[in-house]
Chains A and B, each alone.
Chain A
């Protein structure tokens, strides 16, 4: 199971990087979203995937799920959600102001 999820995470990373290298802004943003999904899946897998076990260590419980990765993912999801909404607004305003959503034309020259 872990093996499959790791591969899935790798596929997500690959698609994300492919999208990040595109020129259209929206594709790049989709790339960043996929990237964060890949990273989150990665954290989840690092705590081992088990079913039907409590996430706490109490007396009488010998098998338990590691709660830490889930706490980490939750934090990370919130952060990347916030950033995604910010970047969407930023990208929208950038295209409005600069009249293009093509990164090729947003390169800029240092000597302006």
Chain B
């Protein structure tokens, strides 16, 4: 059964290659994309179920025994994240044909879409630090192509910056891996974790840990390294923004969770305390950014940053409740961010502008759209019974248990402001005079709403079914707190 582990990587990869051949035939591409994304969802769903029931799947590629070859480790954390990735992929695959891509669909949009999924799944699954870098590059390469697709003036300008910042942090990633290899002599994550405990000079390990944190924080857009994010996520098509917002920053945050729960746990007071401060500042600056603008796409892009702050806060506190909350929040945030980007894409499309000041009274024309947005505002702010509530509840429980009062207050106030920033879209855009937008022609939203409603249903299930999901995230949190389980399962000692 261990070959199951490679499927989440190989399915999108093969899909992408097949789609290259059907590039000029848009209709076939669309059908195949939907079919492949559904296959991916089915398979990863099965894998997630299998892993939760039977424990981690470990694949030693090429039969090289664990510390020597590249290994793929699907533990419960990877499995649920890969599953969530595929849920987002399905929604985007069904949304894409209606998203007004036009000619861009013929510029290898669908192959790059699947290459992106390949990279993301690979990054979640790999058990090798250098391999993580390689999968980062796979997903970044796809993202470079997607972000510049179409080639507007602004797109070129912003994607150049996006590429440069990611290139810089990738090179630092390689350097950090080189340093770590110099100190512990291995790049297998389990073996690194084992040897880190045996190294005499803990100081140099902390330095390497911070270097790696810098790399991942750049990719995850944490304070103060988020400056590249908002503008570059606004310029591409909504589908691309949704994929980026849902997946790319989350890969960075996943890497932080993995590395700082498995490998660098030797100096928690220094590193993890630092994370809590970063978390607080990310929340404040992100939400201030979201409140400062009237561009609906920018509002959503800025909202990524406080969400990342919540997740990193759980890692900083580093007890079972908080970690469990982080994982819960990570799952739901991937879905919510994808849905929000798709949603503002629809709003910008029907209103013909993304400037809030020029919108008004949309609810008379598009009632469903309005109420879906309203529901997502509640999800994002964490109002029960939606999933955001459970994630935040667990995080705050963990924070209070450890006596981290300041960050709890910041987190609670930030939630309110997040709610305000999204409700602002609802109030300004949907309420108001029906006839204010005179030359607004009625546009068809056929096929655009369904994927968003699908994501909304998933989030509601995640919230209402907390009784079923909470034990899973709780078990994952307990598993993350004890790196020995991971080490033993990989090295089989």
Contacts and interface: CB of A to CB of B under 8 A. Distances in A.
Interface of A: 20, 25, 28, 32, 35-36, 38-40, 42-43, 45-47, 68-69, 72, 75-76, 79-80, 82-83, 86-87, 90-91, 93-94, 97-98, 106, 108, 110-112
Contacts of A82: 141
Contacts of B137: 79, 83
Contacts, number: 100
A43 B167 contact: no
A75 B130 contact: yes
Nearest to B156: A94
B81 interface: no
B226 interface: no
A111 B179 contact: no
24 contacts: A20-B168, A32-B168, A35-B168, A38-B175, A42-B174, A43-B174, A46-B179, A46-B181, A69-B178, A72-B130, A75-B134, A82-B141, A83-B141, A83-B144, A86-B144, A87-B160, A87-B167, A90-B144, A90-B156, A90-B159, A90-B160, A91-B160, A97-B153, A110-B231
Contacts of A98: 153, 156-157
Given A79-B134, A97-B156, A110 B151 contact: no
Contacts of A69: 178, 181
A43 B154 contact: no
B177 interface: yes
A76 B298 CA distance: 34
Candidate in B144, B151, B157, B230 with the most chain A CB atoms within 10 angstroms: B157
B182 A46 contact: yes
B295 interface: yes
B89 to A, nearest CB: 24
Given A32-B164, A42-B178, 16 more contacts: A20-B164, A43-B174, A43-B177, A43-B181, A68-B181, A72-B130, A72-B178, A72-B181, A83-B144, A87-B160, A87-B163, A90-B156, A90-B160, A94-B157, A106-B160, A108-B157
Contacts of A93: 151, 156
Contacts of B144: 83, 86, 90
A7 B133 CA distance: 25
| Nearest 6 Cβ contacts at the A-B interface | A46-B182, A94-B156, A43-B178, A39-B174, A42-B178, A46-B178
B321 interface: no
Contacts of B333: none
B287 to A, nearest CB: 16
Nearest to B166: A83
B105 interface: no
B158 A108 contact: yes
Interface string B210-235: 00000000000000000000110000
